[in-house]
């Protein structure tokens, strides 16, 4: 291994004592490949096993916590106890290769897919339709505003899914509070126009995300018999107006720092992207966030980091301790091992039409990769 890449391979220890063998994390990526009953498929197990021998931690594709939160075809479930054997297969496929296994917990809210959920009725903090297409679906219906009682049930659902993750042998969970999904919908001034204890002011829009965190922490304290990782993924800003600004994100970061998370994971397409509004600065969002948080909570950065040189620069220049790789680990499952062995010149940077089998990519994901221009570098 080149001397310059050694910072990527230093161990990292979370506040709860769990240690990662290096600074590379596999980012959560939807595979669209679960079985028709929403259990994990054999192809997904092979996919995770092929990519878990290098990173210090692997964060799974998002698993939905309530039936009305399903947001993708082929999404595996964490919403009922019968899913524990399925979840156990995922955890084992990752841990057996030496990485820590973290289950991402999710509810689509107003971005759930109507034909995939009971009665086709989407729900959210308020009855406000999404203005922009997100992800792989165009959701053009107005959600129903959830009642106070339903909000309590939602909070409990995240806790119950966490209990299942513990039973399944995961090392932690990540709360998906990014990309416009339900937790973010409660924090956003665009999607949350409530006037009760769950919305209105900035302080009340923080109530639901913090309640989910506290419930998950309670479940961990009661049911985990060893240190268990709790992370939170967030999108620093929203394109909508009104929408989340960097100034509001700083308030969310302060609140999350106060509840002693193990990490906060940025959801960015470009690691070095600049703020839209809410702060006067030409520096990147990641640098501003790291400066704001200091050492209160470790940050995972992500976004168009392809090479070991880029990953090393991201850590050194921004000061964040952990780097997540997404598409790079699909294109090159052995990215980490090749860097560690001094074989970085052999890292794949593009896909060939006949690469599916050798890269262990499930059929639905492979078909989507080939059908979405510009998503992956396909020759």
Average pLDDT value for residue range 259-270: 96
Model confidence at 131, in pLDDT bands (50, 70, 90)? confident
Asked if CATH classification 3.40.718.10 holds for the domain at 3-371, the reply, yes or no, is no
| Tens-digit pLDDT profile for residues 312-333 | 999 999 999 999 999 999 999 9
In three-state secondary structure terms, 12 is: strand
Q: Are strands 100-106 and 57-64 parallel, antiparallel or unpaired?
A: parallel
Q: How confident is the model at residue 3 (pLDDT cuts 50, 70, 90)?
A: very high
- pLDDT at position 232 is 98
pLDDT at 133: 62
Q: Give residue-wise pLDDT tens across range 140-175.
A: 899 999 999 999 999 999 999 999 999 999 999 999
Residue 140's pLDDT is: 81
Average pLDDT over residues 172-197: 97
Give the other-Cβ count within 10 Å of 138's Cβ: 9
Single out the residue of 129, 24, 125, 37 nearest to residue 79, CA to CA: 37
Using CA atoms, how far apart are residues 236 and 171, in angstroms rounded to an integer? 26
β-strand 12-13 against 19-20: which pairing, if any? Answer: antiparallel
pLDDT at 279: 87
Residue 134: pLDDT above 60?
no
Q: What is the mean pLDDT of residues 260-275?
A: 95
Convert the pLDDT of each residue in 16-31 to its tens digit.
999 999 999 999 999 9
- Does the pTM surpass 0.85? The reply is yes
Q: What percent of the chain lies above the pLDDT cut of 70? A: 98
pLDDT digits (tens, 9 = 90+) for 202-259: 999 999 999 999 999 999 999 999 999 999 999 999 988 899 999 999 999 999 999 9
- In this predicted model, what pLDDT tens digit does every residue of 60-109 receive, in sequence order? 999 999 999 999 999 999 999 999 999 999 999 999 999 999 999 999 99
CA distances from 247 to 207, 243, 250, 277 (A): 17, 11, 5, 8
pLDDT at 278 over 90: no
**What is the predicted pLDDT for the residue at 95?**
98
Report DSSP letters for 259-298, one per residue: TT-SEEEE--SSTTPPP-SSS--SS-HHHHHHHHHTTSS-
If you average pLDDT over residues 4-15, what whole number do you get? 98
Beta bridge partners of 104: 62, 174
Query: What pLDDT is stored for residue 120 in this prediction?
Result: 96
Domain map of the chain by residue range? 3-371
What average pLDDT is seen over the chain?
96
Task: Give the Cα separation of 81 and 165 in Å (integer).
Answer: 10
In this prediction, residue 136 carries a pLDDT of 65
> Quick one: what percent of the chain has pLDDT higher than 90?
93
* HEC-encoded secondary structure of 186-222: HHCCCCCCCCCCCCCCHHHHCHHHHHHHHHHHHHHHH
Identify the sign of the CA torsion 99, 326, 168, 87.
negative
* Among the listed residues 174, 12, 171, 33, the one whose alpha carbon sits nearest the alpha carbon of residue 94: 171
pLDDT, position 212: 98
Would you say residue 280 has pLDDT above 90? no
Per DSSP bridges, beta strands 19-20 and 322-325 are unpaired
Provide CB contacts within 8 A for 313, sequence distance 6+. Answer: none
């Amino acid at each position: 291994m080149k001397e310059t890449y050694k910072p990527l391979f230093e161990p990292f220890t979370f506040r709860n004592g769990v240690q990662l063998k290096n600074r590379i994390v596999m980012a959560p990526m939807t595979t669209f490949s679960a079985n028709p009953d929403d259990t994990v498929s054999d192809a997904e197990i092979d996919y995770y096993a092929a990519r878990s021998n290098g990173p210090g931690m692997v964060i799974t594709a998002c698993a939905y916590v309530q039936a009305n939160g399903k947001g993708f075809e082929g999404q595996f479930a964490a919403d009922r106890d019968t899913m524990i054997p399925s979840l156990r297969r995922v955890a084992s496929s990752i841990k057996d290769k030496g990485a820590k296994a973290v289950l991402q917990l999710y509810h689509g809210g107003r971005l759930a897919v109507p034909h995939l959920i009971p009665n086709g009725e989407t729900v959210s903090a308020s009855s406000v339709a999404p203005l922009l297409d997100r992800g792989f679906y165009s959701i053009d219906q107005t959600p129903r505003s959830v009642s106070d009682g339903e909000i309590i049930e939602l909070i409990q659902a995240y806790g119950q899914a966490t209990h299942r993750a513990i039973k399944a042998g995961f090392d932690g969970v990540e709360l998906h509070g990014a990309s416009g999904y339900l937790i973010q919908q409660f924090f956003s001034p665009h999607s949350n126009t409530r006037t009760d204890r769950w919305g209105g002011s900035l302080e009340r829009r923080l109530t639901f995300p913090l309640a989910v965190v506290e419930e998950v922490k309670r479940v961990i304290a009661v049911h985990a018999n060893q240190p268990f990782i709790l992370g939170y993924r967030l999108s620093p800003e929203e394109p909508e107006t009104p929408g989340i600004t960097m100034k509001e994100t700083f308030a969310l970061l302060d609140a999350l720092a106060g509840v002693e998370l193990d990490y906060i994971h940025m959801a960015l397409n470009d690691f070095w992207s600049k703020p839209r509004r809410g702060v006067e600065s030409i520096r990147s969002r990641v640098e501003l966030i790291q400066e704001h948080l200091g050492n209160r909570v470790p940050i995972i950065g992500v976004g168009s980091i392809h090479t070991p040189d880029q990953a090393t620069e991201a850590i050194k220049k921004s000061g964040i301790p952990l780097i997540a790789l997404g598409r790079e680990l699909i294109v090159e499952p052995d990215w980490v091992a090749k860097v560690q062995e001094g074989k970085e010149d052999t890292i794949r940077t593009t896909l060939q039409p006949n690469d599916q089998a050798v890269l262990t990519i499930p059929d639905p994901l492979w078909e989507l990769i080939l059908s979405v221009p510009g998503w992956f570098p396909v020759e």
